[in-house]
Amino acid sequence: MAIPVPEKRIADFEELGFGMFIHWGLYSQLGKGEWAQCHEQIPAEEYQKLKDTFTASRFDGRKIAKLAKDSGAKYITLTTRHHEGFSLYDTKGLNTYDAPHSPAGRDLIRDFVDGCNAEGIIPFFYHTTLDWYHPDFDRDFKSYLQYLRDSVEILCTEYGRIGGLWFDGNWWKPNDDWEEDALYGVIRKHQPDAIIVNNTGLGARGAIGNLQLDSVTYEQGRPEPMDREGMPKYLAAEMCETMNAHWGYAAKDVNCKSLAQLIETLCACRKLGANYLLNVGPDAEGEITPLQSALMLGIGDWIRMTGNCIYKAKPCGVKGLNHSKNFALRDGNKMYFFIHDLSISGNSNVTVDCGGAGEKTFSGVPAGIKSLKWVDREEDLEYRYEDGTFVMNATGFPYGTNLVVRVAEAELS
């Protein structure tokens, strides 16, 4: 059976490669993550008072989009409404639990989209499906679903062309009929080229759902190889992950992943052709913290130093043999080898050991490689074919550098 050909929007989505996820809402004022209302059982009337102190005084869509761009992210997925039920957009009278009716006094999604458009970043809208605010969610589910569709229709008609909609929350009521066809129908009607995602959550990573969906999700995990043979349509894959352990701002969660981990994770996603959607949680006023900004920018530096090859190059069946993290991607007659855990060459008295240089072996490399060099510096690398195995001599990082994952570019005839 054949692997279906991806529709254009899905092929384009796969080439975005890296995105910035943003969780921001009323909860950001509490600084304890986006689930605080639920975990701390804060009574609704009390929680809703957070609207009266929500000023968004430092939320700047342009600045955020610029950060994403400098970080090498091609898209941003922002929580237009999270489980708390508060909308960052103007709900046009559906209710008053939205940003224009708060001290912020403005449509923050408009600001976000304008900023993205100005910086060439594609805006995606996260939208909750479960709702801790709307009374109909538990009282009259059908009427709630109409409210959800009306909300999504606003997002699809007010902000020009958007990259996609990212839903989250169906797992809260797994046995109910979410009338998904009707919801996705609203999107297809107004935004035929939008990517539609519905997060299957921690318990069902990679699960395949409604036929209108364009990508599977791997929340806080690692993408797994997908067998696309015989699928009714080609699906993309996206792995979303927090930088610390919370999506929404958590002032006291300093347990951030290291830049090295983030770079390796980006590579682990691209190894399988999956996108990496990395989250930041802006603070109460809408500012991304210096630590999270710095980590994002570090990824951007790495992407540039490795020749921007992560976007277009695709998995091509090449496997690292003597180091399982190593792999290769291919873009036309260029093949990119991703080499992990290299050491820094030089005097062992002054460098910290971080692995080894030397021979790296691969299977699945086609014959006819004409040249091989590091992307980060002009240095031809030795290589040979040995009984169907491709062997390259990976030299260590020159003293003064360490890119975590180093990329060698091969030219194929």
> What does each C-alpha distance from 111 to 42, 123, 296 come to in angstroms?
30, 11, 21
Tokens of 362: 């691969």
What's the min distance (Å) between Cβ of 277 and ligand GLC?
8
376 in Cβ contact with 309 (< 8 Å): no
Which amino acid belongs to residue 374?
Answer: W
Nearer to ligand GLC, 252 or 370 (CB): 252
What's the min distance (Å) between Cβ of 242 and ligand GLC?
8
Nearer to ligand GLC, 71 or 77 (CB): 77
What's the min distance (Å) between Cβ of 199 and ligand GLC?
5
Nearer to ligand GLC, 29 or 199 (CB): 199
Comparing CA positions, the residue from 216, 321, 229, 305 lying closest to residue 269 is: 216
The string of DSSP letters for 106-141 reads S-HHHHHHHHHHHHT-EEEEEEESS-SS-THHHH-H
What's the min distance (Å) between Cβ of 148 and ligand GLC?
16
What's the min distance (Å) between Cβ of 33 and ligand GLC?
8
Question: From CA 14, how far away is CA 124, in angstroms rounded?
Answer: 14
Nearer to ligand GLC, 238 or 264 (CB): 238
Comparing CA positions, the residue from 351, 354, 393 lying closest to residue 372 is: 393
Nearer to ligand GLC, 34 or 107 (CB): 34
Q: Is 195 exposed, middle or buried (0-12, 13-18, 19+ CB in 10 A)?
A: buried
What's the min distance (Å) between Cβ of 215 and ligand GLC?
13
Q: What are phi and psi of 67, to 5 degrees?
A: -60, -45
Q: How many CB atoms lie within 10 A of CB 252?
A: 9
Instruction: Give 371's strand partners.
Output: 411
Tokens of 71: 């970080």
Nearer to ligand GLC, 91 or 199 (CB): 199
Nearer to ligand GLC, 280 or 313 (CB): 280
What's the min distance (Å) between Cβ of 224 and ligand GLC?
17
- Which residues would be at the binding site for ligand GLC (CB under 6 A)? 23, 34-35, 168, 199, 201, 219, 240, 247
